[in-house]
């Protein structure tokens, strides 16, 4: 009984894809091109889902719009440019490299460089402090006091 219940829960928890074949293009090559674009475009409602995975009304409208543009013979780049002009770079799941989003692309590199500089600096400081010089008499007395000898 437990196995059946577990199987039922797993089947119900499987991800559902929002693909709606009702507006599919009659030409299979055009439909595949449209589907490829669906996977590259972000649903503006769901935010981290492609319009292929989303069942939001806006995603359905975007799928219809992309199909219209593909049927009209527009290239993938033309369709993406049109959508970016309309919704901004956020509509692309993988944003383009531009001066406007340079900080977005450079932030991980900058964080890694700053972290590396901090590590190198602290290792050098540690090495400088532990250079093997003997303790002075005052330092020995303080150490003995702290250790309780």
Distance CA 85, CA 58 (A): 17
Q: Give 20's DSSP letter.
A: -
Q: How many domains does the chain have?
A: 2
Residues 39 and 75 in one domain: yes
Residue 98 above 70 pLDDT?
A: yes
Domain span at residue 140 reads 102-147
Quick check: 31 and 43 in contact, CB under 8 A?
no
Percent of the chain at pLDDT > 90 equals 17
- Give the predicted TM-score (pTM) of the model: 0.56
CATH of the domain at 78: 1.10.8.640
Residue 15 above 60 pLDDT?
A: no
Residues 20 and 79 in one domain: yes
Q: Which domain-ending residue is among 47, 63, 91? A: 91
Q: Mind giving me the DSSP string for 52-112?
A: TT--SHHHHHHHHHHHHHHHTT--HHHHHHHHHHHH-GGGBSSPPP-STTHHHHHHHHHHH
Q: Average pLDDT over the chain, rounded to whole?
A: 82
Residue 18 above 50 pLDDT?
A: no
Residues 18 and 67 in one domain: yes
> Helix, strand, or coil here: 6?
helix
Q: Report the pLDDT value the prediction gives residue 8, as an integer from 0 to 100.
A: 67
Q: Which domain-ending residue is among 50, 71, 91? A: 91
Residues 122 and 64 in one domain: no
CA distance readout (Å), 109 to 89, 106, 114, 118, 121: 21, 5, 9, 14, 18
Whether 139 maps to a domain, the answer reads yes
Q: Report the pLDDT value the prediction gives residue 142, as an integer from 0 to 100.
A: 92
Whether 81 maps to a domain, the answer reads yes
The pLDDT tens digits of the residues spanning 39-94 come to 889 888 887 888 888 888 888 998 999 999 998 888 889 999 998 898 888 888 88
């Amino acid at each position: 009984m437990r196995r059946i219940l577990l199987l039922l829960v797993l089947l119900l928890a499987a991800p559902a894809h929002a693909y709606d074949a009702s507006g599919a293009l009659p030409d299979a090559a055009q439909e595949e091109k449209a589907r490829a674009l669906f996977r590259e475009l972000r649903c503006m409602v769901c935010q981290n889902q492609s319009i292929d995975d989303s069942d939001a009304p806006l995603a359905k409208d975007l799928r219809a719009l992309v199909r219209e543009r593909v049927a009209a013979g527009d290239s993938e780049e033309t369709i993406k440019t049109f959508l970016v002009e309309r919704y901004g770079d956020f509509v692309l799941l993988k944003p383009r490299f531009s001066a406007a989003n340079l900080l977005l692309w450079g932030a991980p590199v900058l964080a890694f460089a700053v972290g590396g500089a901090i590590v190198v600096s602290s290792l050098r400081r540690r090495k400088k402090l532990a250079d093997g010089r003997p303790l002075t008499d005052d330092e020995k007395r303080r150490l003995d006091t702290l250790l309780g000898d």
